Amino acid sequence: MFVIEFIRDVIVSAMSMLNSASVWMVLSFFIAGLIHEFVNVESMRKMSLGTSSVKGILMTTISGMFIPICSCGTIPLGISMYYSGAFLGPTLAFMTSTPMINPIAIILAFGLLGKRIAIIYIATGFLAPLIIGTIANRMGGDELYYAPAYNNTRPQLNLVSKKPSFMKRLKGGLRWSFLDLSIAISKYTVSGMLIAGLLFTVVPQEWIQTYLGEPGMVSLLGITVVAALMYVCAVGHIPFIAALVASGAAPGVAVTFLMAGCATNIAELISINKMIGRRAMVIYSVTVIAISEIAGYLTNVLLPDFEPVLDYDAVTHSISNANNLIIDFPDWMQYICSFILIGYACVALARWIKKKAA
């Protein structure tokens, strides 16, 4: 009986996290198909995304900061950019900035965490993707760019031939995204959510809250690892982390948790490892964790006398403004998209079993 209840709790926890990301992921698959078909290597070069220029990293960092998509939702977009010719630096910068910080999260941070933490949060959320992108472009090695995308760029010898029609290209891009990319990514996303659900069920939440109350470096490192393993949304978890800070947790915990938790989770790390490469995953995860740890430590140093925000009028105003910007998908849509991802994962599992049996 205990085993059945434990399995049920793991599945419920994993399903809850999957529901939070599934609609954005399905929408991202659609956009990824458009990127794959209509954006080529030359386009990436013109936008500086297909070069090691800092301009490309800055461009994806700034654009990502205005898109309120979770870390799982950025996977299809980032992978599609990379496969279309974007260098590793701009790709990882985009996959960092998009989930880490956005206008809704900034509004909530000012209202629930206070001006000083919010400013540190914004500064770190802007600098972290730039640092990660720069390191990735310098240390990307064989994973600096997707070689097949550049190997396929050959001049057209037949100048008379016509380009495929818009609808044909659209269908081709969506076919690639929803029949190839989605299956490859969903198996890592679903399995990653199950692992996160297992960890979330095994580790008592009371222990986490008690542990977060310690202001030392050990607690910052611990919450960095915990946040990196969990599925965290910046918007949804700001009230949670604000409550922890109000109950006595150090202010650096808030910054560290939001940096590491929002930009990383098991599903995303597995996807980067399998679809881009181990080097990219190591650069991404190690740099995010290091920056999160340093940012949290500096926050504690800069704010030794920090007092939690107790202005309830300001809190209410911030939440009201944020709610006006939040896109709240209905439950039925979340479940439909979650089951779509689960279906893709089952197809991937069936193909793997068939391949092993052959």
Say what the pLDDT of residue 219 is: 59
Comparing CA positions, the residue from 101, 100, 140, 128 lying closest to residue 268 is: 100
Count of structural domains, the chain: 1
Work out the average pLDDT over 69-75.
Answer: 75
Report the percent of the chain where pLDDT is more than 70.
77
238 within some domain:
yes
Q: pLDDT per residue over 196-229, tens digit each?
A: 777 667 765 555 555 555 545 445 666 666 666 6
What whole-number distance in Å separates Cα of residue 65 and Cα of residue 142? 28
Comparing CA positions, the residue from 303, 297, 210 lying closest to residue 248 is: 210
Assess whether pLDDT exceeds 70 at residue 341.
yes
Q: pLDDT per residue over 160-178, tens digit each?
A: 446 678 888 888 888 888 8
21 within some domain:
yes
Give how far Cα 233 sits from Cα of 39, 64, 149, 203, Å: 29, 15, 32, 19
228 within some domain:
yes
Mean residue pLDDT across the chain = 79
On whether the CB atoms of residues 2 and 314 are closer than 8 A, the answer is: no
Work out the average pLDDT over 17-24.
Answer: 81
225 within some domain:
yes
Q: pLDDT per residue over 138-148, tens digit each?
A: 999 999 998 88
On whether the CB atoms of residues 17 and 196 are closer than 8 A, the answer is: yes
195 within some domain:
yes
For residue 275, how far is the Cα from the chain centroid?
15
Tell me the CB-side half-sphere exposure of residue 32, using CA atoms within 13 A. 26
In this prediction, residue 157 has a pLDDT band, given cuts at 50, 70 and 90, of very low
Q: pLDDT per residue over 33-51, tens digit each?
A: 888 888 877 778 888 888 8
155 within some domain:
no
Cα R_g (the chain), whole angstroms: 21
102 within some domain:
yes
- Structural domain containing residue 256: 8-148+169-357
Residues 6+ apart with CB under 8 A from 91: 60, 78, 81, 82, 136, 276
What whole-number distance in Å separates Cα of residue 224 and Cα of residue 97? 17
63 within some domain:
yes
Q: What is the pTM of this model?
A: 0.81
What whole-number distance in Å separates Cα of residue 234 and Cα of residue 244? 15
Say what the pLDDT of residue 193 is: 79
Q: Which sign, positive or negative, has the C-alpha torsion 85, 90, 95, 101?
A: negative
3-state secondary structure of 356: helix
What whole-number distance in Å separates Cα of residue 130 and Cα of residue 139? 14
Work out the average pLDDT over 233-252.
Answer: 70
On whether the CB atoms of residues 10 and 194 are closer than 8 A, the answer is: yes
Q: Return the higher-pLDDT residue of 153 and 195.
A: 195
Q: Return the higher-pLDDT residue of 210 and 332.
A: 332
Give how far Cα 67 sits from Cα of 98, 153, 326, Å: 6, 30, 11
